[in-house]
Amino acid sequence: MNNLEGQLRKEIGLTVSISIVIGTVIGSGIFMKPGKVIASAGDPSMALLAWVLGGLLTLAAGLTIAEVSTQIPKTGGLYVYLEEVYGKIWGFMSGWVQTIIYGPAVIGALGLYFGSLVIHMFGMADGWKTSIGIAAIVFLAVMNSLGAKWGGWIQTAATLGKLMPIALIAIFGIWKGHGQLWNTGELSSQTNMGVAILATLWAYDGWILIGLVAGEMKNPAKMLPRAIIGGLAVVIVAYLSVNVALLHVLSADQIVALGDNAASQAASLLFGEIGGKLIPIGILISIFGCLNGKIFTFPRIPFAMAERAQLPFSRVLSKVHERFGTPVFAILLETMIAILLMLLGNPDRLSDIAIFAIYIFYIQAFLAAFILRKRNPGKARIYSVPLYPITPILAIIGSGYVIVSTVMTNPSDTMFAIALTLIGLPLYLLLNRSEAQILVDSPSNR
């Protein structure tokens, strides 16, 4: 990634870095997932515990990755971390999964959630959901292709809309609501905390994307860990506040029954007819802004891989538009795969597949903290993960639990994700057939 690194201006400060973490994390999950978390956990008390555990797992992951990022302060995030630690083949596999599964599934799920809220707001038929979601994705793909300034403008404009519904629902829901928060009655006998935590991880996911712009930070070694920790702390507090507020306004079975529309219904009860329409608009802006952030960042992965000739049609995918200065073909690739996945699955399935696929590689990144310390015993660290080795061990154990639980409860989707992942291996060997002993490639012999 050295070529790309040299072209980037180091203009991003700490405030912007924290904003990027918050902006890429907060999107649809906090509004779309409370019902699924409660249904999976079995009762409100366990649901809140799932949100806490999901937040702690994410924080442990963020604290661990922060140390890895200070040792490898380069643009590329997870893709470059794994390549530096494990060798080219593992960097390729993580980039392949992010290009083919994770990025498009995230974009597709956000598009479908956006469409679901639009049809509910305007009383449209359910059949319009997918079409509206696709239209939103295509629009944002075009805007981001026309120049980074357009995507940046949309992201800035969406920030206020993102925070407004969260703040209003959290504050007024806790203040005015009179619901029974610590309800111990089970809603379902088929409870699964693994599935519940997996649902919360969708809402917490996105923080690692800050690594994709490390090369544009003024001092990435210091700013990356601060941005990850500061941003995630804000997100965890916001999510717990909203869930407590919803349970103050609506009963647990109402939240489950309303599903995607629970937050909108709570807003109507809190603020009346006008407020009940304004808050959902704010939620739509939040999802729209998050979707824009994903479309802006995810194409950087296939673009960077194509620069290294690690994908088919790399010569095309690595092209930057002469006039707009954007990776238009990489954006087009991610958009096309996202639309295909939208036509094949519902948003909850897509979000589960995305989280399952990426957490396989997250575990490798957590293990990298141990490997780098062993590999560089005398190297000074600007940042060290607190409570080492407990924190990275918790991140690994928690992630492993989620993966195993997902395989057991949703085998078909996980097998689909694993199959797409494994397709990358023969592709890598084909694209690198001229290299000797490719399977034993490692940082020591590169």
What does the pLDDT look like over 173-207, one tens digit per residue?
A: 888 766 655 554 555 556 678 788 888 988 888 77
> Which pTM value belongs to this model?
0.78
Asked if 161 contacts 282 with a C-beta cutoff of 8 angstroms, the reply is: yes
Secondary element (H or E) of residue 52: helix 44-71
Q: Any idea which of 66-70, 163-167, 365-369 has the lowest mean pLDDT?
A: 163-167
Q: How far is residue 44's CA from residue 255's CA, in Å, rounded to a whole number?
A: 10
Provide the percentage of residues in the chain whose pLDDT is more than 90.
16
What does the pLDDT look like over 363-403, one tens digit per residue?
A: 999 999 999 999 988 777 877 888 889 999 999 998 888 88
What SS3 class is residue 323?
coil
What's the whole-number mean pLDDT along residues 425-431?
87
Residue 19 scores a pLDDT above 80? no
What SS3 class is residue 436?
coil
Q: How far is residue 64's CA from residue 74's CA, in Å, rounded to a whole number?
A: 16
Question: If you average pLDDT over every residue of the chain, what do you get?
Answer: 81
Residue 12 scores a pLDDT above 70? no
Percentage helix, strand, coil for the chain under 3-state DSSP, each rounded to 5: 80, 0, 20
What is the per-residue pLDDT for 157?
A: 64
What is the per-residue pLDDT for 328?
A: 86
What is the per-residue pLDDT for 437?
A: 46
What SS3 class is residue 72?
coil
What is the per-residue pLDDT for 173?
A: 82
Q: Residue 444's pLDDT band (boundaries 50, 70, 90)?
A: very low
What's the whole-number mean pLDDT along residues 32-50?
87
Residue 312 scores a pLDDT above 80? yes
How would you class 1 by CB atoms within 10 Å of its CB: exposed for 0-12, middle for 13-18, buried for 19 or more? Answer: middle
